[in-house]
Amino acid sequence: MKRTPLFSAHQKLGAKLIEFGGWEMPVQYTSITDEHIAVRKAAGIFDISHMGEVSVSGPQAEAFLNQTLTNDIRKLEVGTAQYTLLCNARGGVNDDLYAYRIGKGEYLLIINASRIDADCCWLQTQLTAFNRPEGVVLQNISDAMGAVAVQGPRVIEFIDKISAGPAIGGTLVARPAQLKKNQVAKIQFAGAELWIARTGYTGEDGFEIVAPGEAIEAVWNKVLELGKPYGLKPCGLGARDTLRTEVCYPLYGHELDEQTTPIEAGVGYFVALDKDDFVGRAVLANQKANGVTRKLVAFKMTEKSAPPRPHYPIWSSGVKAAQIGEVTSGTQSPSLGIGIGLGYVPPEFAKPQTPIEIEIRGKRAPAVVVPKPIYSAHPNP
């Protein structure tokens, strides 16, 4: 199993470790519930160094990415970021990612840990087929980089102390707190250069920091020290999962895979049909125009029951009850104190208020389709 540059820091903090996408990662330090509540009420820091970084640069980088990714990369100013998807020709999702435009003709893709090899292979194949491959330099820099996410409503009160001076790249703010949602800046920190973006995966305001691997432990320790008076806690993948499930952000391998399209997953907003051809366009345009056969829905359990879990069958309700789908993510919601989940069902069952049932160990428990997000957090301004 691979380890991040923060592995010994996690051990020192007494983290419980698990395997995730080939990485040995902290699932929790004290308790998932405590860490979850810390992020909702105050602040938390997550090691996300397992995530991959791919640098795409050159005069044709923009054109290459615009025909490889679903969102319109031309809308990115230098120093901004967008959520986007890497699809196959069938419209299925190879990965979902964040694209940072860090300079003119310079992009950084933040990709899922479990997809680094697959994405790099796919991007290389696409580049070979691209009509101006000499204008693009593709570099997998995942092994050289570390990253942390600092999330929660109180992060804004201490994040500025991370940098000694104004931004030196990206969006040229005087201090990180001036970054708006999806803006990214390069700042100096203890002799290293970091990228700091106002993005996250928890539904709360916060930042994600990408730094050279050798600098990330100093960043981690600095944030722990700065955040402590504000209630910041180190948080594991357990809380990361419950936080993102409450706000209905998809997780690759659960809501998204190569057989699932962004339209089915409810992230069609990030598929730009008003641009030139891109991989998967024909299928996605057809689904946007004519509809899909299944949709990702959010649901809540309506009575006391065991929490729903991935792969539990979803049933329709009533006398003609039948199995209509499967849970992709499910947990006890630490914020709401009830079972919540996400899963795919035919469109006729996707409307909020539709009663459904979740089969838990052979018995069906009542649930109801609810609007997304399941829990309203305090988003980035």
C-alpha span between 381 and 378 (Å, rounded): 9
Assess 33 for contact with other proteins (CB under 8 A): yes
Instruction: Report the relative pairing of strands 339-345 and 323-332 from DSSP bridges.
Output: antiparallel
Assess 202 for contact with other proteins (CB under 8 A): no
Which is closer to other proteins, CB of 158 or CB of 201?
201
Binding span for other proteins by CB under 8 A among 189-197, 215-223, 320-328, 330-338: 330-338
List CB contacts of 178: < 8 A, sequence separation 6 or more: none
Assess 27 for contact with other proteins (CB under 8 A): yes
Q: Is 57 helix (H, G, I), strand (E, B) or coil?
A: strand
Assess 334 for contact with other proteins (CB under 8 A): yes
Which is closer to other proteins, CB of 54 or CB of 314?
314
- Output the 3-class SS for 179-190: CCCCEEEEEEEC
Binding span for other proteins by CB under 8 A among 25-33, 70-78, 182-190, 344-352: 25-33
- The residue from 2, 161, 175, 309 that contacts other proteins (CB under 8 A) is 309
C-alpha span between 179 and 196 (Å, rounded): 9
Which is closer to other proteins, CB of 27 or CB of 367?
27
| Minimum gap (Å) between residue 208 Cβ and other proteins | 23
Of 102, 24, 114, nearest to 65 by C-alpha is 102
For residue 162, the Cα-to-chain-centroid distance in whole angstroms is: 23
| Minimum gap (Å) between residue 136 Cβ and other proteins | 41
Instruction: Report the relative pairing of strands 363-370 and 323-332 from DSSP bridges.
Output: unpaired
| Minimum gap (Å) between residue 341 Cβ and other proteins | 13
Q: How many residues bind other proteins (CB under 8 A)?
A: 19
Assess 302 for contact with other proteins (CB under 8 A): no
Of 33, 52, 44, 318, nearest to 206 by C-alpha is 44
- Neighbour count for residue 290 (Cβ, 10 Å): 7
Assess 335 for contact with other proteins (CB under 8 A): no
- Binding footprint of other proteins on the chain (CB under 8 A): 16, 27-28, 30-33, 36, 238, 241-242, 305-307, 309, 331-332, 334, 361
